[in-house]
């Protein structure tokens, strides 16, 4: 049976001598793996259309329930090759690709995530150093897939967290904050405070900003310039949460980041 | 239906790239019909390559002597190093007979999604070579795909402070192909890399 859909290449794995197994995020079938015959040969008809991040119109041939349909055609709609040429940018995007590869089940349609990824790549093509784009993607992705950290109420007693109020200062002391526990994936209130686990502090303003990000339209993101400290605070929580949910094998990825920072690309 | 030793030989042949069951069967029966010395010669060559094959301590090419034939060849230009991903790439470049310098094999390419980090490649060894030998030019001949490209860019950044000339092999259309069948990225790159005639 011939299937046609639009897809973004997330990853390709070498198979045999010159073949590839390409993992796509498609608009109709969600995460999908396809077998491509001889794309590594110089005169392959696939050309550069199987490179990561390429958005293309693909045709596949295979039985209805075939695990690995054969890719018969791939026409580039948008190559996004400028994103692949910037090492630092590709590193940041790799994190996004990893999220898709690890959180999404195969062959389950996620048109909302497909649109989110496509929108983000389009925005990043013009400015790939905007940290807010990456953060926005992660927060929205976790929300759509149901892996969001719980930041609206205490993870134990369920009491609603008061995030609407401005940060209070008591006698000139530090601003009021909430304690986020990675192992609980949630904020825990003072009453139910967990023992043994080191919490991450989350300021009231960061919490408010996080809530706003969930509501804002992606088109509005360009117009927002939040303070770096606010971004770092939410990034810290979201990245720790993702690392906790995904498990340890991401340490090698951290090494690339460290090395990149060292040579200050 | 074949059984026993013949079946075992067929199964072993199918482990080779590009060999299906039918070809494996043909090869197995061909080996069976061969003079014993020739068949043993093939077996011995496979055993030798596994027993004696190792990486050259200078360029990390696969060799049975250390340093390898290319690194110990005095007629080679030691001031130019061609950086490749795999030892098989050296064979391809050597076939062109257009390069008389030496090589450096990285034994892979950077891939953040697969967790292939710079410390898993022979990049530190390349930096050491550039620092200790009188190297004039580094030719980056990694594959023209995403992994090869970011590896080339990473090496460029790492080697920049060492004041060595760094060049990248050209992108473009394969000879004998047709422009109308080229994809837009390849064609864009070949237009960007055009040269005056």
Q: Report the CATH fold assignment for A82-265.
A: de novo design (two linked rop proteins) (1.20.1440)
DSSP-based three-state secondary structure for A181? strand
Domain with CATH 1.20.1440.120 in chain A: 82-265
Q: Given A11, A87, A259, which is nearest B113 (Cβ)?
A: A11
Q: How distant, in Å, are the alpha carbons of B13, B58, B76, B91 from that of B50?
A: 16, 20, 28, 19
Task: Give the C-alpha separation, A67 to B102, whole Å.
Answer: 45
Quote the ipTM score. 0.71
Q: How far apart are CA A22 and CA A9, in angstroms?
A: 7
Instruction: Tell me the pLDDT tens digit for each residue of A156-197.
Output: 887 776 644 444 444 544 446 788 888 888 888 877 776 767
pLDDT of residue B108: 93
Mean pLDDT of A53-78: 88
Q: Any chain B CB within 8 A of the CB of A43? A: yes
Q: Span A1-79: which CATH code?
A: 2.40.50.140
Count of CB atoms situated within 10 Å of the CB of A23: 22
Give just the sign of the alpha carbon dihedral A70, A72, A77, A81: positive
Among A48, A84, A265, whose Cβ lies nearest the Cβ of B183?
A48
> Among A238, A52, A135, A82, which residue's Cα sits nearest to residue B145?
A52
User: What's B59's DSSP letter?
Assistant: T
Contact B115 A252 (CB under 8 A): yes
Local confidence band at A265 (pLDDT 50, 70, 90 cut-offs): very low
pTM summary value: 0.79
B178 in contact with chain A, both atoms CB, cutoff 8 A: no
Per-residue model confidence (pLDDT) at position B14: 93
CB-CB neighbors (< 8 A) of B183 in chain A: 47-49, 76
B127 touches chain A (CB under 8 A): no
The chain B residue lying nearest A250, using CA atoms, is: B115
A37-64 b/e (C-beta count within 10 Å ≥ 16 → b): bebbeeebebbbbbbbbbbbebbbebee
Domain B3-52 has CATH 1.10.8.420: yes
d(CA A24, CA A16): 20
Q: Does B161 touch chain A (CB under 8 A)?
A: no
CB B42 within 8 A of CB B51: no
Query: Nearest Cβ partner of B186 from A47, A98, A256?
Result: A47
B169 touches A at CB < 8 Å: no
pLDDT by residue for chain B (197 residues), tens only, comes to 556 899 999 999 999 988 899 999 999 999 999 999 999 999 999 999 899 989 999 999 999 988 999 999 999 999 999 999 999 999 999 999 999 999 999 999 998 777 788 889 999 999 999 998 889 999 999 999 889 998 999 999 999 999 899 999 998 888 888 888 888 888 888 898 888 88
A265/B contact by beta carbon, under 8 A = yes
A42 lies within 8 A of chain B by CB: yes
The minimal CB distance from B184 to the residues A10, A11, A76 is found for: A76
User: In chain B, what are the domain boundaries?
Assistant: 3-52, 62-168
Q: Which two tokens stand for residue A55?
A: 């958005």
**pLDDT tens track for A113-132:** 999 999 999 999 988 888 89
- B146 interfacial to chain A (CB closer than 8 Å): yes
Directed axis angle between helix B146-159 and helix A87-103, to 10°? 140
Tokens read off for A127: 């400015």
Collect all residues of chain B within an 8 Å Cβ-Cβ radius of residue A247: none
CB neighbour list of residue B64: distance below 8 Å, 6 or more residues apart = B48, B52, B53, B54
Q: What is the pLDDT of residue B158?
A: 92
**Helix count and strand count (H, E) for chain A:** 7, 9
pLDDT at B169: 93
**B159: exposed, middle or buried (C-beta count within 10 Å: 0-12, 13-18, 19+)?**
buried
Which residue has better confidence, A258 or B88?
A: B88
Partner A, chain B 1-60, Cβ-Cβ below 8 Å: 17-18
Q: Which residues of A touch B158 (CB under 8 A)?
A: 263
Mutation for B interface: A87, A96, A249, most B CBs within 10 A: A87
A contacts of B181 (beta carbons < 8 Å): 45
Q: Measured between CA atoms, how close is A78 to chain B, in angstroms?
A: 9
**Total Cβ atoms within 10 A of residue B101:** 18
CA distance A131 to A112: 21
Place of tokens 């790939």: A128
CATH of B62-168, picked from 3.40.1360.10, 1.20.1250.20, 2.60.120.330, 1.10.10.10, is: 3.40.1360.10
């Amino acid at each position: 049976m011939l299937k046609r859909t639009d897809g973004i290449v997330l990853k390709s794995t070498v198979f045999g001598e010159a073949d590839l197994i390409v993992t796509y995020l498609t608009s109709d079938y969600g995460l999908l793996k396809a077998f491509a015959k001889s794309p590594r040969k110089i005169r392959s008809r696939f050309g550069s259309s199987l490179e990561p991040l390429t958005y293309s119109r693909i045709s596949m041939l295979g039985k209805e329930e075939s695990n690995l349909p054969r890719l018969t055609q791939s026409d580039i709609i948008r190559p996004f090759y400028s994103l692949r040429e910037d090492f630092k940018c590709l590193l940041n995007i790799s994190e996004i690709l990893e999220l898709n590869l690890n959180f999404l089940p195969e062959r389950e349609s996620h048109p909302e995530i497909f649109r989110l990824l496509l929108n983000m790549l389009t925005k990043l093509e013009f400015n790939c150093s905007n940290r807010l784009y990456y953060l926005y993607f992660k927060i929205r992705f976790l929300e759509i897939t149901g892996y969001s950290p719980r930041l609206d109420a205490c993870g134990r007693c369920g009491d609603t967290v008061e995030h609407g109020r401005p940060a209070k200062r008591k006698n000139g002391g530090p601003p009021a904050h909430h304690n986020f526990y990675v192992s609980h994936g949630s904020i825990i209130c003072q009453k139910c405070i967990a023992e043994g686990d080191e919490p991450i502090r989350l300021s009231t303003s960061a919490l408010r900003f996080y809530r706003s990000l969930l509501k804002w339209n992606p088109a509005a993101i360009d117009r927002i310039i939040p303070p770096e400290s606010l971004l770092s605070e939410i990034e810290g929580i979201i990245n720790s949460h993702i690392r906790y949910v995904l498990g340890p094998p991401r340490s090698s990825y951290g090494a690339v980041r460290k090395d990149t920072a060292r040579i200050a690309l | 239906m074949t059984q026993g030793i013949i079946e075992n030989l067929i199964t072993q042949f199918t482990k080779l790239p590009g060999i299906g069951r039918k070809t494996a069967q043909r090869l197995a029966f061909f080996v069976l019909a061969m003079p014993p010395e020739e068949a043993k010669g093939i077996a011995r060559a496979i055993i030798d390559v596994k027993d004696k094959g190792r990486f050259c301590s200078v360029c990390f090419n696969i060799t049975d002597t250390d340093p390898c034939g290319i690194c110990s060849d005095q007629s080679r230009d030691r001031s130019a190093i061609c950086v490749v991903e795999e030892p098989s790439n050296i064979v391809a470049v050597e076939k062109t007979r257009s390069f008389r310098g030496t090589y450096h094999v990285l034994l892979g390419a950077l891939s953040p999604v697969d967790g292939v980090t710079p410390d898993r490649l022979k990049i530190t060894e390349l930096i050491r070579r550039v620092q200790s030998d009188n190297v004039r030019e580094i030719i980056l001949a990694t594959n023209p795909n995403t992994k090869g490209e970011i590896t080339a860019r990473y090496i460029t950044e790492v080697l920049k402070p060492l004041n060595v000339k760094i060049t990248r092999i050209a992108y473009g259309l394969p000879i004998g192909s047709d422009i109308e069948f080229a994809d837009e990225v390849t064609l864009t790159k070949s237009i960007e890399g055009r040269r005056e005639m």
